[in-house]
Amino acid sequence: MSDPPGRDAPTPEQLIDWDVAHFWHSFTQMHEYEPLVIAAAEGCELIGADGRRFLDGASSMWCNVHGHAHPAINQAISEQLARGAHITSLGMGCDTTVRLAKRLVGIAPAGLDRVLFSSDGSSAIEVALKTAFQYWQQCPEPRPAKTRFLAFGAAYHGDTIGAASVGGIDKFHALFKPLLFDAVYAPGPDRHKLPAGVAPEAACDYYLGETERLLAERADEVAAVVIEPLVQCAAGMVMHPPGFLGGLRKLCDRYNVLLILDEVAVGFGKTGRMFACEHDGVSPDFLCLGKGLTGGYLPMATTLTRTKIYNAFLGDAASGRALYHGHTFCGNPASAAAALASLDLFESEQTLAGLEPKIARLGERFCRLAEHPAVTNARQTGIIAAADYVAEHQVGRKVAAYALEHGLWIRPQPGMVYVMPPLAISLEEIDRMMDVIEAGIVEVTGIAIK
């Protein structure tokens, strides 16, 4: 973006000063913040205001899919802006957004044929929670006592009040507990960190058994179960035992409880398929999408649901049955244009088929990383890979700082290293990324990989 006429472009030093003086960053302890100002991005690289280049090892907070500044997505946004930048979804709809709704229904799991648009992942979860709650109040056989939600340990579904209420990460949610509604929590289905006495081959049955115990006791008051399928990302890249999601769908059917799948982070190819729920052949009652929906270019999220649920909201204007939820920029046309272009690229560039060798290479490199004495619990699902540290508490932050100095951006985590690069990353870039991480661990710990 150009500067206003008659003004000189700010220097990198000025941008850093303004960043520190005025920009309060999300999820950032500003007392410890070390300024990093990005001026551009292309492909899988971020370009700093000072000209430094960084490989984007976390796909710009898990959202970039096809790389930055892809000409097809840029062109689609530009063409839409020339036709119209904003059209409300309250009582009308833009043709571009209508086409996107149709396209999403065409690729979603069977039965999901109604699309509610929002602006971010937290809002998509809010839509699902409010819709599930209201559904039981006015469905053909109302169950007004079904007002609670079952979530899972260490869950994260967003920062708005409803989304935070079904979260389970104390450092994000504990302070706000007086503002939140109470949820029912089952143990997080972590296939790597099992309770004492539970063998890996019994993990799925154990976690399903714990979940069923809660549903058997409280199904009459539970409106829906909400979970990130396969990988709980903000929980620490917790990866579920194979078959857990399929079993959970059966439990929801057995106990007459709706199923909300939060694929805001794991959707659009991150697990190796378009949607994570495809791995278990599961169709939820609500599918929440965001982040990669637009290829990571513009804010947009969506909640897909079933006609059965949609029909419970139909009535005349006096009935009060409508879903009174929405925001100014729901279904924004420019965002919809970006999403359509991204879906086109999945087809024209055969993005999912091209992932197979990348997933394999990433797996090979994490197997090698797991040989380091300071690393444990290496794990992978699709293009998402992580490992924990067994050494001192600040190893993760030090490795991230080393990576930044050597041209790689990864999120600093005290006890863990993870990567979730754009799907467009090349094999050479995967090796470059992992070379830096390995070298960082060796540098910080003083221990070489054997």
Measured in degrees and rounded to the nearest 5, phi and psi for residue 117 equal -95, 150
Convert 268-284 to b/e letters by CB count within 10 Å (16 or more is b).
bbbbbbbbbbbbbebbb
Q: Which helix (H) or strand (E) holds 212?
A: helix 203-218
Task: Give residue 234's pLDDT.
Answer: 95
| Residues 36, 126 within the same domain | no
Residue 220 near residue 226 (C-beta atoms within 8 A): no
Sign of CA dihedral 388, 392, 396, 400: negative
Measured in degrees and rounded to the nearest 5, phi and psi for residue 315 equal 170, 180
The 8-class DSSP code of residue 230 comes to: S
User: Looking at 323, 348, 373, which one is the last position of a domain?
Assistant: 348
**358 labeled part of a ligand binding site:** no
Helix ranges (H only) for 84-120 are 95-107
When divided into structural domains, the chain yields a total of 2
| Residues 401, 316 within the same domain | no
The 8-class DSSP code of residue 68 comes to: B
| Residues 181, 82 within the same domain | yes
∠ CA 158-161-166 to the nearest 5 degrees?
A: 60
**156 labeled part of a ligand binding site:** yes
Residue 298 near residue 77 (C-beta atoms within 8 A): yes
| Residues 324, 376 within the same domain | no
Tokens 């969506």 map to which residue? Answer: 302
Task: Give residue 1's pLDDT.
Answer: 43
Q: Which helix (H) or strand (E) holds 401?
A: helix 395-405
What is each CA distance from 36 to 15, 49, 372, in whole angstroms? Answer: 10, 8, 30
**121 labeled part of a ligand binding site:** yes
Residue 238 near residue 232 (C-beta atoms within 8 A): yes
User: Looking at 322, 348, 374, which one is the last position of a domain?
Assistant: 348
Longest dimension (CA), the chain: 72
Structure tokens at 251: 């439990």
| Residues 360, 379 within the same domain | yes
| Residues 321, 377 within the same domain | no
Q: Average pLDDT across each block of 10 residues of the chain; the chain has 450 residues. List them in order.
A: 63 96 95 95 97 98 98 98 95 96 98 97 98 98 98 96 95 92 96 94 98 98 98 97 98 98 98 98 98 98 98 94 93 98 98 98 97 94 96 81 97 94 98 98 91
| Residues 311, 341 within the same domain | yes
**328 labeled part of a ligand binding site:** yes
Task: Give residue 393's pLDDT.
Answer: 54
User: Looking at 295, 320, 348, which one is the last position of a domain?
Assistant: 348
What is the side-by-side strand order in the sheet with 301-305? 114-118, 301-305, 286-289, 258-262, 222-227, 148-152, 184-186
CATH number at residue 230: 3.40.640.10
Does residue 149 lie within any of the structural domains?
yes
Query: Which residues on neighbouring strands pair with residue 240, listed in sequence order?
Result: none
Tokens 């929002």 map to which residue? Answer: 118
Helix ranges (H only) for 236-283 are 244-254
Checking 432-436 for CB contacts under 8 A at 24+ apart, the result is 432/55, 432/408, 433/55, 433/57, 433/408, 434/362, 434/365, 434/366, 434/368, 434/369, 436/55, 436/402, 436/403, 436/406, 436/407, 436/408
| Residues 52, 92 within the same domain | no
In 77-126, where do the E strands start and end?
114-118
Residue 301 near residue 124 (C-beta atoms within 8 A): yes
**291 labeled part of a ligand binding site:** yes
| Residues 140, 279 within the same domain | yes
Does residue 4 lie within any of the structural domains?
no
For 195, half-sphere exposure in the C-beta direction (CA atoms, 13 angstrom radius) is: 11
β-strand 222-227 against 258-262: which pairing, if any? parallel
Residue 273 near residue 352 (C-beta atoms within 8 A): yes
Report d(CA 409, CA 56) in Å as an integer: 5
Structure tokens at 218: 């409280």
| Residues 275, 374 within the same domain | no
CATH number at residue 60: 3.90.1150.10
Parent domain of 23: 12-66+350-445
Report d(CA 314, CA 253) in Å as an integer: 24
Structure tokens at 175: 């302070």
HEC states along 154-206? CCCCCCCHHHHHCCCCHHHHHHHHHHCCCCEEECCCCCCCCCCCCCHHHHHHH
**96 labeled part of a ligand binding site:** no
Task: Give residue 431's pLDDT.
Answer: 98
| Residues 160, 46 within the same domain | no
| Residues 89, 197 within the same domain | yes
Does residue 2 lie within any of the structural domains?
no
Residue 409 near residue 56 (C-beta atoms within 8 A): yes
